[in-house]
Amino acid sequence: MPYIGGHVSVAGGLHLGIQNAEEIGARAIQFFGASPRMWYAKQPSEQDVALYKEKAKASSVARAYLHAPYLVNLASPDGEMIKKSVKNLSDHLQIAQRIGANGLIFHVGSGKEIPKAEAMERAIEAMSFVLESVPGDVELVIENAAGGGQKLGASAHEIGEMLERIDSPRLKVCFDTAHAFEAGIIESYTPEHIKKLFDEWDREVGMQNIVALHVNDSKTAYNSHHDRHENIGEGHIGLLGFQNLAREARLHDKAWILEVPGFDGMGPDKKNIEILHACFQS
């Protein structure tokens, strides 16, 4: 069974993310390394880093990723916006490297009014720069987009092009189940559609480059291009979809990270994790 977990709060200190993970039985986690609403990313102190590492080591958390702020746009028509985004992403990647996290998951962004090919050039240059600016083994992880608004990275083909052109062993991919459904690249998570989808992702991206899944049900319809997550089994993907996904052996070595609203509205919880666990037993 893969490492299953979810996005956790680190309010009050990064090490509390580990405590929050243990409380819900998460073995794979994601959190914000610094405020997701600010361009400035405060570096944790040496003490904060040591405390996090100590707690993480003693825990059953096996995979940890940071998530970048949603402000970031590496494909923006505005050069200043790209500069700020590169700086912010580099700072967050630096935090991930310092605390020994596996990587930083981020959304590439949108070229808005500029042609997609030009937006792609901008994003590729910016991603290369971020990787260069933070040496080490920490991974920069592209998340697939829900589509719409000229967003980059909604398809295997686009993400594959980024990987091929940047050609860094540290550039990886996170596959969000809700975004794929909302972007219209999988109509329903049936065994046939799942096989076809990941055959394509294997060709374009390479399954070994997918390191994590964002496991979310969708509040919005297929091809809606509208990104709204739902608890597992409560959305348009449905429980059967996740049971089918659990049978896809090519996904068993990935970190399965929930980003759901939670049954109490407090984010990923024990109940969602248990529902997901049960999908592997069905």
Residues 33 and 95: beta-carbon distance below 8 Å = yes
Q: CA-to-CA distance for 234 and 216, rounded, in angstroms?
A: 10
Residues 143 and 106: beta-carbon distance below 8 Å = yes
CA dist 131 → 24, 40, 92 (Å):
33, 19, 12
Residue 7 or 55 with smaller CB distance to Zn ion: 7
For residue 151, state whether it binds Zn ion (rule: CB under 5 A): no
For residue 176, state whether it binds Zn ion (rule: CB under 5 A): yes
For Zn ion, which residue of 214, 219, 236, 254 counts as binding (CB under 5 A)? Answer: 214
Residue 145 or 275 with smaller CB distance to Zn ion: 145
DSSP β-ladder status, 3-7 and 255-258: parallel
Q: CA-to-CA distance for 91 and 66, rounded, in angstroms?
A: 11
The region of 43-51, 74-82, 91-99, 256-264 touching Zn ion under the rule CB under 5 A is 256-264
Q: CA-to-CA distance for 200 and 158, rounded, in angstroms?
A: 12
176 is in an annotated binding site: yes
Q: CB of residue 259 vs Zn ion: minimum separation in angstroms?
A: 5
CA atoms within 13 A on the CB side of 48: 17
Q: CB of residue 93 vs Zn ion: minimum separation in angstroms?
A: 18
The region of 10-18, 149-157, 192-200, 253-261 touching Zn ion under the rule CB under 5 A is 253-261
Residues that bind Zn ion (CB under 5 A): 176, 214, 259
> Binding site for Zn(2+): which residues?
67, 107, 143, 176, 179, 214, 227, 229, 259
